[in-house]
């Protein structure tokens, strides 16, 4: 149970003053559903504002605070913006400009004749000066002038800096006094403030020590939780599964295993023969051949008289695995079934029976395979594909289902740097498929300016005329969801206008059935062009799709580009990946795209990605989904993770049951970062 002293932090954001239903959605989008989330929503930067008397004193692009008198309202002609003309003390004119619905509030905020303090960025518009969507408009200067270093928060549509700032301030008023979980020596050495102080400082200035402390907390929580899982796992009872090889001998794969595959299978077999349950990660780049390794592991379980289950993150991947594995298993006498949320009625009943009486040896499916109603006769191995889609907590739930803990093999194609492997999968042993099956053709990767869009579309036309299929990927980030979605839809419309109903669109906002239907049309070759956001990143295998276009490639992380590119180059034909870049490309952006052209080694790209981002000029260069962290930036991970890891180790050695006062504080930390699955294991065993 969560310690009571954390309750104020876990209260809903809706309990704050002034949060109505209108704010719920934008807050939800940012993941700010509880007070805890708000206080950990750290500013991405701070702006320094300069108070000025006279607009002549300020440069264009400068953030200023100035007293203005409103002269005139200019309603838009047609779809233009709403402008408020105002003058400073010297009579210089400036236009305060509002787009869209913001215009309504502007009239009230800035009535004609009134004097107001306006804070914002001074811009030039033609010959005149303007301030677009000022950050603040107030009657009284005191508040503004007292705060010259203002936080800028990541926003979502429907939220303003002002609103969010107000909410964060309210939330900061609810900070409880938490016991110290950091070792005193570490606190002294680094000069870090206490938790609540660090929290408040992080919102008021670019307080490096405060930010480091908060990041360290997160890293420590993660390291501790993983160690607890690992320790808990060691104490559990598994079953020794040593296959005799009779089923594996019947396999007739159309290829010889690579050295890396053979080595990984041997490592897995070694684990499964032990009494303690296996907890192993199989890390291998896209196309490295993880499925064949998983198949061998599952056959070991079946040879030893147990069952195996394989979990895929999506319906479509589950079906694909089922088809591939069924083909590979032909003639072995091993029975395999599929179970997803979509399988209903008699077929489902039959599968459930088969799992219960043991006549089904291998079950492939989505999380449906672990629902309450699904019982196995003797589940000996769980394989989790594309592990990064599932959290450690979910994984634990899965393996706790059986009386005896099944062995667990998690697989991931996300090539993460070694430092992050520790952070993300520290509780597991790792096998790496660091060798590609022979005969793969390198993917011809090119960087092309967006201006050449028409040529690219012509190229697609020629490609599909020759019977090929193509992916067209559009960026999608949470903060910019609406615009991104609109752009993807527009691209789909444009391509459909040219190529007709051979073009499909998939994105994360579609209902799962609609998404699967579109994907399936592409898999079956009925659709030839698949316009998609990053939802196709994982696992889909269409060997005939040998062309990929990635629009605004500079907006993707390197690791993500690599994952995407891995969707092509799967057949024997030569594949091409076109990275369309926008006009304004930063130095780093240029470097990153050049790297994509240069190498196809996922691990190298991951290391470089970390290096390029680690230099981070911004305070908060996070990209959601890339790491399990919300607070720690790449730079902080690189610098602080080893320290946090050592400290966690030390604490575990001294007080593995977290019973001392510092241990109790560490439990609070685990709950604070919602890594309490570690604590629950502790209590359970
Ligand atoms: P991933 O690691 O991305 O899951 P897959 O298991 O889907 O990769 O394998 C990719 C392709 O490589 C499949 O078509 C598979 O049949 C093939 N493959 C796997 N192992 C080998 C091998 N040792 N030699 C040749 N082809 C292989
Ligand atoms: Mg795979």
Q: Any residues with CB less than 8 A from the CB of 354 and at least 6 apart, and which?
A: 335, 337, 360
Is the confidence at residue 611, as pLDDT, over 80?
Answer: no
Closest residue by CA, ligand 1 atom 4: 290
195 Cα: distance to centroid of ligand 1 (angstroms): 49
288 Cα: distance to centroid of ligand 1 (angstroms): 6
Distance CA 497, CA 499 (A): 6
Model confidence pLDDT, tens digit, residues 66-83: 999 999 999 877 767 889
- Report which ligand 1 atom has the smallest distance to the Cα of 291: 6
pLDDT cut 90: percent of the chain above it: 49
Q: What is the pLDDT of residue 556?
A: 83
285 Cα: distance to centroid of ligand 1 (angstroms): 10
Q: What is the pLDDT of residue 241?
A: 97
Q: What is the pLDDT of residue 229?
A: 81
Q: Is the CB of 287 under 6 A from ligand 1?
A: yes
428 Cα: distance to centroid of ligand 2 (angstroms): 19
Q: Is the CB of 412 under 6 A from ligand 1?
A: no
Q: What is the pLDDT of residue 685?
A: 35
Q: What is the pLDDT of residue 533?
A: 86
pLDDT band at residue 378 using 50, 70 and 90 as cut-offs: very high
On average, the pLDDT of the chain sits at: 87
pTM as predicted: 0.70
- By three-state DSSP, how is residue 447 classified? strand
Q: What is the pLDDT of residue 684?
A: 43
β-strand partners of 281: 410, 430
pLDDT band at residue 624 using 50, 70 and 90 as cut-offs: very low
Distance CA 613, CA 556 (A): 12
3-state secondary structure string across 58-106: CCCCCEEEEEEEEEEEECCCCCCCEEEEEECCCCCEEEEEECCCHHHHH
What is the β-pairing status of strands 407-412 and 149-152?
Answer: unpaired
CB-based burial, 551-574: b 16+ in 10 Å, e otherwise: bbbbbbbbbbbbbbbbbbbbeeee
Q: Please, are residues 307 and 222 in contact by the beta-carbon 8 Å criterion?
A: no
290 Cα: distance to centroid of ligand 1 (angstroms): 7
Is the confidence at residue 615, as pLDDT, over 50?
Answer: no
Classify residue 154 by burial, with Cβ atoms within 10 Å: 0-12, 13-18, 19+.
middle
Q: CA 644 → CA 193, 218, 417, 551, distances in Å?
A: 16, 9, 17, 39
Residues in the chain, overall count: 685
Q: What is the pLDDT of residue 189?
A: 93
Token couple for 604: 């190298």
Q: Is the CB of 31 under 6 A from ligand 1?
A: no
Q: Is the CB of 436 under 6 A from ligand 1?
A: no
Note every long-range contact of 137-144, with CB atoms under 8 Å and residues 24 or more positions apart, other chains counting: 137/96, 137/109, 137/110, 139/114, 139/115, 141/65, 141/67, 141/117, 144/49, 144/65, 144/117, 144/119
Is the confidence at residue 209, as pLDDT, over 80?
Answer: yes
pLDDT band at residue 622 using 50, 70 and 90 as cut-offs: very low
Distance CA 110, CA 27 (A): 27
Closest residue by CA, ligand 1 atom 14: 570
146 Cα: distance to centroid of ligand 1 (angstroms): 63
More confident residue, 162 or 55: 55
pLDDT band at residue 620 using 50, 70 and 90 as cut-offs: very low
Q: What is the pLDDT of residue 88?
A: 94
pLDDT band at residue 621 using 50, 70 and 90 as cut-offs: very low
Q: What is the pLDDT of residue 428?
A: 82
Closest residue by CA, ligand 1 atom 27: 437
Q: What is the pLDDT of residue 655?
A: 92
- Report which ligand 1 atom has the smallest distance to the Cα of 253: 16
More confident residue, 504 or 479: 504
**Structural domains of the chain, with CATH:** 46-152 (2.40.50.140), 248-433 (3.40.50.300), 444-599 (3.40.50.300)
DSSP 396-409: HHHHTSSSSPPEEE
Identify which of 263, 283, 291 to mutate to test ligand 1's pocket (most ligand atoms within 8 A of the CB).
291
Q: Which residue has the tokens 């089922």?
A: 322
Q: Is the CB of 323 under 6 A from ligand 1?
A: no
Token couple for 233: 């796992």
β-strand partners of 12: 34
- Report which ligand 1 atom has the smallest distance to the Cα of 324: 16
Is the confidence at residue 619, as pLDDT, over 60?
Answer: no
Is the confidence at residue 447, as pLDDT, over 80?
Answer: yes
497 Cα: distance to centroid of ligand 2 (angstroms): 34
Distance CA 455, CA 378 (A): 58
Q: What is the pLDDT of residue 539?
A: 56
Is the confidence at residue 173, as pLDDT, over 70?
Answer: yes
Q: What is the pLDDT of residue 28?
A: 87
Model confidence pLDDT, tens digit, residues 47-60: 888 888 899 888 88
- Report which ligand 1 atom has the smallest distance to the Cα of 284: 2
- Report which ligand 1 atom has the smallest distance to the Cα of 261: 23
pLDDT cut 70: percent of the chain above it: 91
294 Cα: distance to centroid of ligand 2 (angstroms): 10
Identify which of 265, 284, 292 to mutate to test ligand 1's pocket (most ligand atoms within 8 A of the CB).
292
Q: Is the CB of 569 under 6 A from ligand 1?
A: no
Q: Is the CB of 566 under 6 A from ligand 1?
A: no
Span 633-649, average pLDDT: 88
């Amino acid at each position: 149970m969560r310690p009571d002293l954390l309750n104020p932090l876990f209260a809903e954001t809706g309990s704050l003053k002034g949060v109505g239903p209108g704010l719920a959605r934008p807050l939800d989008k940012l993941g700010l559903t509880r007070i805890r989330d708000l206080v950990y929503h750290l500013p991405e930067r701070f702006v320094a504002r300069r108070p000025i008397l006279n607009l002549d004193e300020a440069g264009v692009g400068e953030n200023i605070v100035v007293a203005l008198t409103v002269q005139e309202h200019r309603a838009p002609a047609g779809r233009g913006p709403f402008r408020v003309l105002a003058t400073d003390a010297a009579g210089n004119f400036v236009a305060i400009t509002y787009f869209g619905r913001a215009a309504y509030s502007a009239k009230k905020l800035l009535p004609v004749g009134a004097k107001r303090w306006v804070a914002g960025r001074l811009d030039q518009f033609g010959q005149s000066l303007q301030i677009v969507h000022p950050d603040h408009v107030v009657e009284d200067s005191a508040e503004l002038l007292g705060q010259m270093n203002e936080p800028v928060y990541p926003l979502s549509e429907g939220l303003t800096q002002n609103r969010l700032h107000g909410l964060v301030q309210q939330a900061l008023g609810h900070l409880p006094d938490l016991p110290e979980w950091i070792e005193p020596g570490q606190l002294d050495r680094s000069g870090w403030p206490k938790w609540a102080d660090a929290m408040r400082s992080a919102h008021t200035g670019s307080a490096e020590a405060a930010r480091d402390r908060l990041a360290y907390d997160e890293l420590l929580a993660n390291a501790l939780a993983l160690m607890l899982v690992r320790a808990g796992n060691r104490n559990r009872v598994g079953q020794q599964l040593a296959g005799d090889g009779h089923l594996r001998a019947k396999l007739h794969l159309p290829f010889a295993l690579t050295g890396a595959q053979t080595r990984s299978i041997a490592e897995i077999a070694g684990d499964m023969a032990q009494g303690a349950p296996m907890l192993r990660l199989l890390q291998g780049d896209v196309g490295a051949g993880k499925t064949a390794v998983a198949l061998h592991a599952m056959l070991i379980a079946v040879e030893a008289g147990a069952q195996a289950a394989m979990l895929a993150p999506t319906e479509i991947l589950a079906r694909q695995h089922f088809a591939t594995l069924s083909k590979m298993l032909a003639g072995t006498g091993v029975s395999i079934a599929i179970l997803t949320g979509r399988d209903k009625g008699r077929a489902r009943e039959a599968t459930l029976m088969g799992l219960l009486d043991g006549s089904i040896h291998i079950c492939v499916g989505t999380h449906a395979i672990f629902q309450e109603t699904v019982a196995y006769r003797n589940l000996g191995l769980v394989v989790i594909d594309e592990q990064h889609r599932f959290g450690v907590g979910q994984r634990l739930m899965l393996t706790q289902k059986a009386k005896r803990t099944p062995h667990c093999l998690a697989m991931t194609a996300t090539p993460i740097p070694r430092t992050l492997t520790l952070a993300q999968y520290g509780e597991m042993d790792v096998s790496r498929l660091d060798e590609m099956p022979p005969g793969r053709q390198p993917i011809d990767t090119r960087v092309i300016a967006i201006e050449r869009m028409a040529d690219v579309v012509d190229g697609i036309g020629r490609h599909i005329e020759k019977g090929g299929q193509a992916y067209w990927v559009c960026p999608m980030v949470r903060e910019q969801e609406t615009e991104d979605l609109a752009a993807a839809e527009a691209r789909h419309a444009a391509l459909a206008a040219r190529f007709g109903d051979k073009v499909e669109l998939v994105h994360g906002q579609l209902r799962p059935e609609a998404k699967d239907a579109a994907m399936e049309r592409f898999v079956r070759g009925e659709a030839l062009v698949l316009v998609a956001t990053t939802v196709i990143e994982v696992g889909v295998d269409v060997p005939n799709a040998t062309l990929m276009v990635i629009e605004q490639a500079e907006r993707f992380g390197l690791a993500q580009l690599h994952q995407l590119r891995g969707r092509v180059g799967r057949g024997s034909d030569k594949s091409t990946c076109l990275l369309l870049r926008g006009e304004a490309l930063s130095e780093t952006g240029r470097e990153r795209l050049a790297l994509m052209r240069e190498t196809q080694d996922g691990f190298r790209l991951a290391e470089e990605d970390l290096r390029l981002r680690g230099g981070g000029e911004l305070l908060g260069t996070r990209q959601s989904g890339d790491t399990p962290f919300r607070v720690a930036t790449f730079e902080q991970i690189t610098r602080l993770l080893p320290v946090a890891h050592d400290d966690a180790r030390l604490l575990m050695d001294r007080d593995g049951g977290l019973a001392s006062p510092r241990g109790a504080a560490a439990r609070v930390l685990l709950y604070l970062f919602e890594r309490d699955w570690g604590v629950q294991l502790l209590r359970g065993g």
